[in-house]
Structure 1
Amino acid sequence: MTQAIIDHGAAREKLESAISAAKADGFRPRHAKSNAISDVMLGRHLTYRYILLTNLLAKATNGRAHGLALQAGADLDGAFDSRSLCHKVVVDFDRDPNQLAGKLGRSNEPYLNKPARYTALTHENAVRRGYDRSILEKCIDILGGLRDAADAESALIDAIYFTLQRESLVGEAAELDGDATLHKVLTKFVSAAVAQSCEGESCAIVTGLAFFLLGRGTGRDFEVKVHPVNQAGSSSNEVLDVDVLTDETLAYAAEVKDKEFNANDVGHAAAKSAAAGLGSFYFVCGPRSQGAARGAEYVDRVADEKNVRVSFVDVEQFFAMCAGLAPSDVSADDVWAFVDAAMMKARVKDATQAHILGAARFAGLVSGED
């Protein structure tokens, strides 16, 4: 089987041209399979969005590329490295506010997800039944039926057109006048952010931001790690939902709950903290939990059973305390850069990114209309 080489420079030019075509006044989708393309690009499965657009780009750049290939080692004539093309070309365009503006999904490494780990798209790929299966089948139908580079380019422009209908996930920090103004904006932002749980992701991001401001306020070089919700502890490098390191040493850890919690939740966090060598940890309570006051009944038990201290605190109060200690030289750019990076590293859902960005626009932290 022969491989197809995709010139990344040529692919960049092709993608830029296709984006311009999709943005042209009066453009309307015209590919024979535009309905299926719309279903994928406007759908909720991030990985297949990236795969479809990337493989259309590959075929449009080099007509010898096989539309269904994911890896150069696939048993297909025209196999190519789809992952490399996506990560080195498509991701850059997705993060550019003047190109795709994050509307594809703003994932740094979309091919790390299971659907992209096969050598090719096939009907035998393991995928959840129902919606995910239907999206896979549509990708196979679209990519497997491509005739040539021109056909692929037509489909690519349609895919970009539908992508641009999605909500942007890219924001730019606003220019604010004075420290007091930023504090007022941050208070409004946090209140709006935690108004929606987003399955606990909103409170986790806000908790991470609180630690970031605490580090700046105390003059300590904090490395704040916000982990994917419900996955803390899945790696030896993770303890709780938010870990704070100084000089690569764990200094603080916080369990974040935006739903009702019980003794097992508290005990599990205490055990993880003790195993990591911490003498204390924070249990941050979101609006949909019972609140920090409810945690008092667990304090003695944790101290006696796990020999660690636990501090229960409501998320907005914790943020207010840390924000009050932040130095006057913290800027909106600093804050939004942290939030933006934290959302990426925590791999929050598209809906969460959209909500956090909307809260930031509402509060005036980033430019643009809500």
Structure 2
Amino acid sequence: MAVSVDHDDADEILREFWKEVLEKGEQDYIEDEGVKEQIRVIVEDDSYGQKTYRYMLFTNILAKATDPRIHYRALQVDDCDLQEAFDSRSLAEDRVVNWEKENGQRLGGSNEPGTNNPYRHPSVSLETNPMHQHSLERLYELLQELEDKTESGELDPKNVLKQTLYFVSELPSQTVDYVSPSEVPYSELRPKVNDYLEISGGGERLASVSAGITLAYYFYAGTDGDLEVNADHVNVPDEQSNAAGDVEVKQDGELVRAIEVKDKPVGVNDVKHAIHKARSAELGEYLFFVGDGFKNGKKADAIAEAENAPIEMILVYPDEYLGQLKFVGESGRRKFVDEVGEFLNDMRAQEESKDGWKELVESFED
């Protein structure tokens, strides 16, 4: 029998129990030391290849606390040999991911954990042959023990969730809190941003600043409809991302603009690649932020490639995109400062990049 877990109920329980765990500071919500230790080990294991197993454990523990009918090992409804099957992946991506972003991204900061290989099976089963066999066996044994002891009345699923949340709360936050400055004059902001961009940070600094400028522009313009600006980490391989650019603008769910961001010297192949991405996304216009000029001897060829493109390929230079901050007013510049910090957190930027932006933000209050 397939079970439909109510996502709203799960979200309410998650937030209620998280608040309780943080406020009470209790360490023990279940008495079974063996189960407790198994949960702790999986939650705290941040070694390579373990992140998806953390999401699977956390999501299924949340689901069981929300609806005790589900089986702890279920992952999908289709082809699942467990009678109490449910869609774990949709719950993870619909509610767990959003909650995690608001609370330090302690599980790993994945936007789509359900797309990873361990989640592509109907259930947590020893019949699969994953790369990390030990991790699968460890998770299988814990989930089956949780199921057996819940059925026998030895464990309460709600207390299992609270115990798990306690261990999550002990993990270090991966995000930085930014306090919005009361005033952001352009004359101070521009040189501070220039200094911030002197360090590449693997391209994440320019990507987050570009996304912040884009969002501030639309914010100040008061664009109608539901507007969304997304920024990919520039080091995410194209085959792992469906994004049309490093920065995307969507209005009412539809892609309306994409921006390629390059903080290294640009060559002809970079422009060709951007043209290909634009055409694949069926965009008639595409922005290319040139952060550090062109490769030696390639400027004329790269510009010619852009000018002769079958779409409107617009090369944008630092003075042009940073100059946009002149036109968005004080409110737009505050929005820019706030959102760059959020983009850095969302893309799980390096600590140096996040701390550098925090210093910039705090400098306005000195």
Q: Normalization by structure 2: what TM-score?
A: 0.69
1:267 equivalent in structure 2: 272
Q: Does 1:72 align with 2:74?
A: no
- Matching residue's letter, 2:88: S
CA contact (8 A) 1:270 1:302 kept: no
CA 1:108–1:262: 2 relative to 1, 3 Å: closer
CA contact (8 A) 2:265 2:293 kept: no
1:208 equivalent in structure 2: 211
List runs of 5+ in structure 1 lacking aligned partners: 286-290
- The Cα shift of 1:342 comes to 8.6
2:125 equivalent in structure 1: 122
CA contact (8 A) 1:14 1:60 kept: no
CA contact (8 A) 1:187 1:320 kept: no
- The Cα shift of 1:298 comes to 3.3
- How many residues in Structure 1 have an aligned counterpart in Structure 2? 344
- Matching residue's letter, 2:40: S
CA contact (8 A) 1:33 1:142 kept: yes
1:139 equivalent in structure 2: 139
The DSSP-based 3-state class of the residue aligned with 1:65 is coil
Q: Considering only aligned residues, what root-mean-square deviation do their CA atoms show, in Å?
A: 4.6
- Matching residue's letter, 1:292: G
Q: Normalization by structure 1: what TM-score?
A: 0.69
- Matching residue's letter, 1:362: E
CA 1:327–1:88: 2 relative to 1, 3 Å: same
CA contact (8 A) 1:343 1:353 kept: no
Q: State the percentage of identical aligned residues.
A: 25
Match among 58, 61, 64 for residue 56 of structure 1: 61
Provide Cα deviations, 1:231-264, integer angstroms capped at 9, x if missing partner: 55988x854433568997866x543234576543
Q: Give matches, 1:1-370, under 5 Å.
A: 2-3=1-2, 6=5, 9=9, 12-13=12-13, 16-17=16-17, 20-21=20-21, 24-25=24-25, 27=27, 31-42=33-44, 43=46, 45-73=50-78, 74-87=80-93, 89-91=95-97, 93-96=99-102, 100-105=103-108, 107=110, 109-125=112-128, 127=130, 129-130=131-132, 133-146=133-146, 147-148=149-150, 150=155, 152-153=157-158, 155-169=160-174, 174-180=179-185, 184=188, 188=192, 191-192=195-196, 195=199, 197-198=201-202, 200-214=203-217, 224-227=229-232, 229=234, 230=236, 239-243=244-248, 254-258=259-263, 262-270=267-275, 272=277, 281-285=287-291, 291-294=292-295, 297-300=298-301, 302-303=303-304, 307-308=308-309, 311=315, 313=317, 320-330=322-332, 332-333=334-335, 335-337=337-339, 340=342, 344=346, 348=347, 350=348, 352=349, 357-364=354-361
CA contact (8 A) 1:4 1:65 kept: yes
- Matching residue's letter, 1:209: G
Provide Cα deviations, 1:95-148, integer angstroms capped at 9, x if missing partner: 55xxx4443345555434443232211234464x25xx4433332222122121
The DSSP-based 3-state class of the residue aligned with 1:294 is coil
